[in-house]
Chains A and B, each alone.
Chain A
Amino acid sequence: MSNQTAMINRYKWYETLAIYAGIALFLIFILCPFVEGFLVSLKPLSRLFSSPYRFWPENGSFDAYVTMWDSVPGFARYVFNSLFISTVATAIVLVLVVPAAYAFARFEFMGRGPLLAAFLAVNMFSGAVLLIPLFRLMRSLGVLNTYASMIIPGVAFLIPTAIWLLRTYMVRIPKELEEAAYVDGAGRFYTFRRVILPLAMPGITVVAITTFIGAYAQQFIFALTFNSKTEYMPLPIGLFSYFGRQEVIWNELMAASFVGIAPAMIVIFFLQRYLVSGLTAGAVK
């Protein structure tokens, strides 16, 4: 059987060539900004602002990676803020989502379908639509210009996907294990904590990673609107105020961007298998 599949998938030389050409075209589009951004970070500023355009850096150096720490004084703080906001947001999401996903996966109750649909429907609103009341809410909670003003609204928009992913995972845990625990006289909460949680750990890990990445990638609108204190700004906003200046020092901005996205890149490289399964778990039924 596998022999047959191998024969179906055998390509003639021109087919292989066409496939590689197609992949190259696709990946050039995807990776072009990163390649160009990286090359820019190596170019001295005088080279950068010169015509005609040159793709490859002459006299390239890593100077910008050193000088940027002085030019963007808050840089280390921005990276810390980004990581801190994402970590706390992920922790809150997990506390809320793990029990909820278990309820959706295992229990029959009236309104289960509509409630799940309602959770998923949250995904259709972006933060931008609800910004005005959220601003008023944050103001009356007295958390404007704090970490909380970025974490609290951010969490709400990470919940739907997390519930969906984890529910999908928990449905697959065999019911017999819980039934055995009940027969042995274990209570529901004990069973949840001692039987389900350990079994669901791989699923919870995937959800934690995707939630963290989501929280790290999407720090913009709440941080832009609800916080004006430099010391609490996450990386994207910190760099955005730098980006908005008249004279943008592009090589340093790109160097800072690359250092800032390094954590995300490392995560992609080592955990990409989990990421793909996490992203596509709910996709194909």
Chain B
Amino acid sequence: MNAKRSAVIFAWMLLLPAVLYISAIVIYPLFDTVNLSFTNASLRKTYKYVGWLNYDKIFNETFAAVIIRTFVWTFFSVLIKMIVGTFGALMLNTAVPGRALFRILTMPPWIVPMAIGIFMWGWMYNGQFGMISGMLQKWGLVDGPVAFLAYGSTAFWATIVTDVWIGVPMVTLYMLAAIQAIPQDLYEAAWTDGAGRMYRFRRITLPLLVPSLITMSMISLISTFNSFDIIWILTQGGPSGSTTTMIIDTYKTAIGSYKYGEGAARAVLICIFLSIFCFFYFRVTNRLSTETAR
């Protein structure tokens, strides 16, 4: 009994530094955000409480548009990431020569400093001299140069494509691990019974991948919702707000215009959305793990 108690004390001593660190750098700021969202905090040293004023201010049409835009942007980015990433994983899982090299070649976007990959996309989207516009003209698909980042609709999709590019390696490697975790004897049994490749894919691979697909979509959803660097470097939320997602909007309000109070109210809303996603994530993964246990 005494030994057990001393073990618990020892465990907490081991945990204490990490717990204190996270409390100071994540938990305390979280509460501070909520607190600040009810104030008129700005660059000045003092601030006073203004009640729900900051929240009243943000519930207007412009902000509703920002929320909708954020969800549309996130939805398409996650969807395309999952499709491209899973396609890559299925291709890399095949038993063809060179696949070890192909796997290494998948990693650079994930591992290289994000900003630098985004610079390269910035050049490719250049209208006058960029690669994409140049190639499209060469193949006769467009008549003149297309400055992708200069128009609202193209900038919206351009930022999505870059976000997909950065997110795909993680999806691919995760899904590849999930595919390889499928017991091989299932395929052998099916093969013995004369099942073809497509049939085995539809009846074994795909159903067994569903839990991993859901889990990865949720992880991807949370990180995509938080995406900041890509949009900030490529468009800073422009042109005329067409790529301003909630994160970008919060950054502009708080850091660009020094309206900490209003920025904090926006951050609180983001946190609420993220908590909802997180809640579903834990529920779904819990249910999936109990189902597979049975």
Contact = CB atoms under 8 A, between A and B. Distances in A.
Nearest to B161: A29
Interface stretch (B56-64, B65-73, B171-179): B171-179
Nearest to B255: A225
A250 B18 contact: no
Contacts of B22: 118-119, 122, 156, 159
Given A100-B15, A131-B254, A284 B25 contact: no
Interface string B190-227: 01000001000000000000001000000000110010
B226 A132 contact: no
Interface in B262-287: 263-264, 267, 270-271, 274-275, 277-278, 282
B120 A257 contact: yes
B102 interface: yes
A254 B123 contact: yes
A121 B10 CA distance: 24
B138 A52 contact: yes
A67 interface: no
Given A53-B133, A131-B254, A285-B289, A236 B114 contact: yes
Contacts of A118: 22
Given A132-B33, A265-B112, A36 B104 contact: no
A235 interface: yes
Given A23-B91, A26-B91, A53-B129, A122 B119 contact: no
A243 interface: yes
Nearest to B236: A244
Contact of B18 (A34, A163, A267): A163
A interface: dominant SS: helix
Contacts of B123: 36-37, 40, 250, 254
A115 B145 CA distance: 54
A130 B26 contact: yes
Nearest to B105: A27
B29 A133 contact: yes
B50 interface: no
B19 to A, nearest CB: 8
Chain B interface bracket (under 10, 10 to 19, 20 to 34, 35 or more): 35 or more
B74 to A, nearest CB: 13
Interface in A222-281: 224-225, 235-237, 239-240, 243, 250, 253-254, 257, 260-261, 264-265, 267-269, 272, 275-276, 279-280
Contacts of B24: 137
Interface in B39-97: 84, 87-88, 91-92, 94-96
B199 to A, nearest CB: 13
B112 A276 contact: no
Contacts of A106: 11
Given A16-B96, A100-B14, A280-B173, A5 B184 contact: yes
Interface in B99-134: 102-117, 119-124, 128-131, 133-134
Given A33-B121, A95-B17, A19 B94 contact: yes
Given A129-B226, A134-B29, A240-B115, A29 B84 contact: yes
A53 B131 contact: yes
B286 to A, nearest CB: 11
A30 B129 contact: no
A61 B133 CA distance: 24
A4 B107 CA distance: 32
Contacts of B92: 23
Contact of A123 (B28, B130, B222): B222
Interface string A1-17: 10011011101000110
Contacts of A217: 110-114
Interface of A: 1, 4-5, 7-9, 11, 15-16, 19-20, 22-23, 26-27, 29-34, 36-37, 40, 48-55, 82, 95-97, 99-100, 102-104, 106-110, 115, 117-119, 121-137, 152-153, 155-156, 159, 163, 188-189, 192, 213, 216-221, 224-225, 235-237, 239-240, 243, 250, 253-254, 257, 260-261, 264-265, 267-269, 272, 275-276, 279-280, 283-285
26 contacts: A4-B188, A4-B191, A15-B197, A22-B87, A30-B106, A30-B165, A37-B119, A50-B129, A54-B134, A95-B17, A100-B14, A124-B275, A128-B247, A131-B250, A132-B32, A155-B21, A159-B18, A159-B22, A216-B113, A239-B116, A243-B119, A243-B233, A261-B113, A272-B107, A279-B170, A284-B174
Given A5-B188, A55-B135, 7 more contacts: A23-B91, A107-B11, A117-B282, A129-B270, A130-B33, A132-B255, A283-B212
Question: 4 nearest interchain CB pairs?
Answer: A53-B134, A236-B115, A126-B226, A107-B11
